[in-house]
Every structure is written in structure tokens, then in C-alpha cells.
Chain A
Amino acid sequence: MNVIETKDLKKVYDESAVAVTAVDGVSLSFEKGEFACLVGPSGCGKTTLLNMIGGLDEPTEGTAIVGDVDLSELSSRELVDFRLRNVGFVFQAYNLIPVFTARENVEFIMHMQGMPEKERKRRAEEVLTAVGLGDRLDARPSELSGGQQQRVAVARALAPKPKFIIADEPTANLDSKSTGALLDMMLEMNREEKITFLFSTHDRRVTERARRLVTLEDGKVAKDERR
């Protein structure tokens, strides 16, 4: 069953004098529980495609249907709520809230979702323990290493049990050991929770473990291979 489907998705940036086509008519579908990577050279449109699938960017043409929802039909406010309820994001630069502790960062989205305090505290602790940070619950991001911060970011994305995780270059700033640990953890979540993972990456350590590789070139799908 397809949970993500894009049809002739196109994105043109015309903010500068010259219009740039970042994504050019991409039609793709992903099934529930996939662990897929978008690969390709810098500027090939990986992040833009992920942003459109995650409801962060509006396509210039085409549609992105995520779950049963056609994102182009949602208002800006509905898109925020859609992301809150359905999508977990992991970013290259971690992007944790610097004034919150690890636990508070993980709790934040669940809090926005309206989860009762007791339940979200328990869930945050459970997920942080699962990512190996059970002893750093009250540490602030500045007190954590890059690998630990990214694990908090993953925990933040996973804790609300989203339908999809969109991860944009999640291992770009991590060493081999941290990358391995993070991938092990995400694969385990993927297997156990059937969460769909969609990555953009240049990192071979990630692509080697992905079950599907979509290669983009100049905003178009150049290759789509399943393993």
C-alpha cells in the first residue's frame, strides 16, 4: 500500500533573476515501512523533494499525496497540524531547542499534540533511553556531543510515533561510530514500529543499509532501485 505518492512534482525557485528548477516532474511512490534514500549530487533536488513531501514547501506543479491527504489542498495552518500529527523531521544540523533539556526537546512535539504530561514524560524517557541517552535526560544540547544531539533529534522525531520520518542528511555531521549507532536504532524502529523512513543523503554508510535508493539528477529521477 502506497503511503506517499508524488505525481509530476515540480518546484521552480524564481526568487532571483534566473528561475531555478529544483525538482522537475518527479513521480514516486513509497510503501508503508520503507527505508528509502534519496541520493544524488548537491543541488539535484533531494531536500526540496523531501520538503514538499513533508509539507514544508509548496510544489509549483503536481501533487504530493501523503497518507490519504493531498497536501496541495491544505491551508498553511492545516499543513502545520498535518506535520505535527504525521511527520517526524530529522535535520542535518540537529536543530534542537537550545534552552530545553534533552527530555524537554523530546516532549515538546508531544506537548504540542496535547498528550497528557505524565504520558509524554514517560514516552520521552523511554525513547531517550532507547537511543542510549537515558543518563542524559536533563542535559541541554550544548552539553551533548554532535552524535548525542542527533540522537535526541531522532528521539524527538520518533517519540510521537509519526507515520513518516523525513531525515535530511542526518549523518552529515557524525563520526562513523555515531552514524552506525544511529542507523541501527532507526532500522530497529523501522522494523518494530513500521515507520516509513525517507532520507536524503550523500553518506555511503547510510545508502549501504537502505532498502531502496532513488537517485536524482537535475531534479529528475535518474534511477530507482530496490534491494
Chain B
Amino acid sequence: MITLIKLAWRNLWRNKRRTLITVASVFVAVFLALLMRSVQRAMYDTALDNAVRLSTGHLQVHREGYWKDKTINKTMTIKDSTREKIAAIENVAVAAPRLESFALVSSGPQTKGAAVVGTDPEIENRLTNLREKVVEGSYLEPGGALVASGVAEYLKLGVGDTIVLLGQGYHGSTAAGAYPIVGVFEYPMKELNNSMIYLALDDAQYLYAAPRRLTSLTLMLDDGDDLEETREEVVATLGEGYETLPWQEMNRELVQFIRSDNVGGIIMLAILYVVVAFGVFGSIVMMTLERRKEFGVMVAVGLRKGKLATIVFFESIFVTFVGVVAGSVGAIPIFAYFSANPIPLTGEAASAYEAFGFPPAILFSLDPGLFLNQASVTAVIALVAAVYPAFVVMNLQAARAMRA
């Protein structure tokens, strides 16, 4: 086998120019494919991670029907013992109780609609790392409000100023309260950053006249891949009257957008790979046709056709493998640099990204799966391209080939 591999490798370099052109075409295609997929993957991952980490968590427990009709009247109560049981489930890292609703927030003549999240400050910090996102003042504490920088800017407020919240409370009561701003935080997602205000859970329950009531118990898991199993455990712990939704269901628009965008990416990839396949195939066909006589001689002197087919098979594999390795090796340092230093977007491009919930920057993913996928696809191309010479060899008649 080593001799056959050696022979295949040397055959590859008999026509250096042709081999290099083929390798270059594979290199360019793999590099471009990796570039496209790396940017897409990083964008998707970041958007989903932001959505899960900053907003929905992996799982949320609600009162049944809440997600379809998000009103304060569909809040729930959960016994402390049940919450503790859920928090103790092996894969549950954090179980954050939240009371979320809307309110008009005003300061002087300025008024704005805002999403108010009442939460346990310490548990929330474990869920969203909210403390790290504070850019001014201090972290959330009972009696105060932590305001997103977009809201603070709009209302021209800062730490120490007071905001007034006005909304509808539980069962039609009026929700009204004034809270000093203890800190201003900044989220990477513009939509969240322009609308969010955090209060301590007790303060929010008091504001909305909903003592001990929650809109959700938001769960962050240690391993998101085991989501379904964990969900089943949570459902079993809760009993009737609750709904436990996975993040995919709560971020349906984002997931659907990613799916459709991903299909576009796959179509582009397919076009790229068709071009590569033709390049490799053309090269292999030329290599095969111009060596028919040589193949005839090799079979004549006693080389089995199967072994000859193995040689040309390896040639096909090598020519694509060299291109894949070169493309991947070329891509890794560039992607690593831009992964650490994303290219920021400004203006309309940034707005368009933010409108879809994506961070306004070109990010790069270094997921090894991306590289393995490209290697697998090109390996398939090489295998398909190798069918033709293998077919020629297996149907070769030595005497006729030598007469050619």
C-alpha cells in the first residue's frame, strides 16, 4: 500500500502546474467557504447566546398560556420547595425567579415604554452576568432601579436621578412607583438596551401588586445539549398548570431567521463546491486520459486493476486534501485574529444587524466543526471525482490501451 501511495503522490507532481492550479482552486473555495460559514456561525451563535443568556435562559417555567398572552394577570406562584427542587436538578445551573411586565417610564417631560424585570439581584447576576454590564453607578439593590443605557440616554438621566414607573398591575390595579437609579448597564443587543429596567423582585411585586407572583422561573443549564431531558425533569417536578418552554420556542423569530439565512449560506456553499468539483474532476479526467497507455502497461506487467484504481483514487484524494489543508491552515490565523478583534459595523449595516438581534460587528467562529465539515465535503468531492478514473481503470483493456 505504501508503494501505491508513494506512486500516487509522485504522479500528482508530474504536471506541477496543473496540480497547483487544482490545489489553488480547492484552496480558494475552502477558504471562502470557511470564511462565509465562520462569519455566519459566529453571528448565529452570538445572537442565540445573547438571546439565551441575556433574556430567555435555556428554559422558562410559566403559568400555562402565559407565553401566548403575556399579561401580568397570567402570573404564577411556585412553592419555595418546588423552586428548590428545580434548582437542585443536576443540569440546572441557575433558576432565576422573575416578574416581568411593561411600564411607562418618565422623567420630567420625557416618557418611554420600558420592559421592567423584577428579579433576585444575585441570582440574576449568575444568569446574565448583569453586574459586569454596569457601566455607571452600582449594581441592582432593593429599592433602586438598574436602567439600560439606551433608556437612560433617552430620558437624559443618570445615577442618582429618579424614574417614575406607571403601568397596569395585577388584576387591573394601577402600578406606580418612583425609584432612584442606582446604576446604568449596557447590553450588546440594541433592542434590549433601549428598553430594559431591572428592579429587585420584591419591589416589582409590590409595584405590580402581585406579591409572591412570578411571570417566569428562568433556568440556565450547565449543558444546553441536554435541554430536553432536563425539561422533562422540570415538568415532572412542577405538576399541572405550568408550561416549560425551551429557548428555541421563545426565540422563534430569531431561530427561523437563522434557519432561512443558513439555507442561503448552504446554497452559496453548494455553488462554490460545484465549482471546486468541476475543477478537481477536470484535472482528474486529464490525468486519466493522458495516462491510458501507461495504465495499460502497468496492467500488462501484472498490476491488478484494483490496485491501479487505488493509485488514481489516492491521487484524487491528495489533490483535494492538499487544497483543504492549505485553505484551513491559511484561514486559521486570519480567523483567530478577527475572532479576537471583530470588525465593527457602523451606520445602516449596524442598524440592520441590530434589527435582527445580531451584534453590530463581523464576528468569526473558530469552531473545529466548521473545518471538519469542509474537509468532509471536499473528501466527498474527491471520492466522486475518483469514480471516473476508477471506472476507466476497471474497464481497461491493457492491449487496447497500449495501442492508443
Residues of chain B lying within 8 A (CB to CB) of residue A156: 301
- Per-residue 0/1 for A40-70: is the Cβ within 8 Å of any B Cβ (1 yes, 0 no)? 0000000000010010110000000000000
Known: A51-B399, A56-B399, A99-B11. A89 touches B300 (CB 8 A): yes
Query: Is B176 part of the contact surface with A, judged by Cβ < 8 Å?
Result: no
Contact B3 A95 (CB under 8 A): no
Bound: A89/B293 CA distance, A: 14
Residues of chain B lying within 8 A (CB to CB) of residue A95: 293-294, 297, 402
Query: Is B304 part of the contact surface with A, judged by Cβ < 8 Å?
Result: yes
Query: Is A209 part of the contact surface with B, judged by Cβ < 8 Å?
Result: no
Residues of chain B lying within 8 A (CB to CB) of residue A30: none
By CB atoms of chain A within 10 A, which of B3, B13, B307 has the most? B3
Contact B297 A80 (CB under 8 A): no
Contact A77 B300 (CB under 8 A): no
Residues of chain B lying within 8 A (CB to CB) of residue A81: 302, 304
**Measured between C-beta atoms, what is the minimum distance from B212 to chain A in Å?**
82
Bound: A114/B7 CA distance, A: 17
Residues of chain B lying within 8 A (CB to CB) of residue A57: 399
Contact A83 B302 (CB under 8 A): yes
Among B3, B304, B402, point to the contact of A77 (Cβ < 8 A): B304
Bound: A125/B307 CA distance, A: 25
A residues 90-112 touching B (CB-CB < 8 Å): 91, 95, 97-100, 108-109, 111-112
B residues 283-309 touching A (CB-CB < 8 Å): 293-294, 297-305, 307
**Measured between C-beta atoms, what is the minimum distance from A88 to chain B in Å?**
8
Residues of chain A lying within 8 A (CB to CB) of residue B398: 56
Query: Is A185 part of the contact surface with B, judged by Cβ < 8 Å?
Result: no
Residues of chain B lying within 8 A (CB to CB) of residue A56: 300, 398-399, 402
**Measured between C-beta atoms, what is the minimum distance from B259 to chain A in Å?**
49
Contact B7 A97 (CB under 8 A): yes
**Measured between C-beta atoms, what is the minimum distance from A178 to chain B in Å?**
21
- What 8 A-B pairs have minimum CB-CB distances, sorted nearest first? A84-B302, A99-B10, A95-B297, A57-B399, A56-B399, A51-B399, A83-B302, A56-B398
Q: How many residues does chain B have at the interface if contact means C-beta atoms less than 8 Å apart?
A: 21
Residues of chain B lying within 8 A (CB to CB) of residue A51: 399
Residues of chain B lying within 8 A (CB to CB) of residue A97: 7, 294, 298
**Measured between C-beta atoms, what is the minimum distance from B104 to chain A in Å?**
81
Contact B301 A83 (CB under 8 A): yes
Query: Is B68 part of the contact surface with A, judged by Cβ < 8 Å?
Result: no
**Measured between C-beta atoms, what is the minimum distance from B14 to chain A in Å?**
6
Bound: A163/B386 CA distance, A: 36
Residues of chain B lying within 8 A (CB to CB) of residue A99: 7, 10-11, 13-14
Residue numbers of B with Cβ under 8 A of A are: 3, 7, 10-11, 13-14, 293-294, 297-305, 307, 398-399, 402
Bound: A96/B93 CA distance, A: 69
Residues of chain B lying within 8 A (CB to CB) of residue A113: 302
**Measured between C-beta atoms, what is the minimum distance from B298 to chain A in Å?**
7
Residues of chain B lying within 8 A (CB to CB) of residue A98: 14, 294
Contact B399 A100 (CB under 8 A): no
Bound: A112/B14 CA distance, A: 23
Bound: A191/B7 CA distance, A: 35
Among A76, A85, A91, A108, point to the contact of B3 (Cβ < 8 A): A108
Seed contacts A56-B402, A89-B297; 6 additional CB < 8 Å A-B pairs = A80-B299, A84-B303, A95-B297, A97-B7, A99-B14, A112-B302
**Measured between C-beta atoms, what is the minimum distance from A132 to chain B in Å?**
22
Can you spell out 15 A-B residue pairs with CB atoms less than 8 angstroms apart?
A: A56-B300, A76-B305, A80-B299, A85-B302, A89-B301, A91-B402, A95-B293, A95-B294, A95-B297, A97-B294, A97-B298, A98-B14, A99-B10, A100-B7, A100-B10
Residues of chain B lying within 8 A (CB to CB) of residue A84: 301-303
Residues of chain A lying within 8 A (CB to CB) of residue B14: 98-99
Bound: A83/B399 CA distance, A: 13
Bound: A100/B10 CA distance, A: 8
Closest to A57 in B: B399
Closest to B3 in A: A111
Closest to A160 in B: B302
Residues of chain B lying within 8 A (CB to CB) of residue A91: 297, 402
Residues of chain B lying within 8 A (CB to CB) of residue A77: 304-305
**Measured between C-beta atoms, what is the minimum distance from B308 to chain A in Å?**
10
Closest to B396 in A: A76
Contact A109 B302 (CB under 8 A): yes
**Measured between C-beta atoms, what is the minimum distance from B13 to chain A in Å?**
8
Contact A80 B302 (CB under 8 A): yes
Bound: A156/B303 CA distance, A: 13
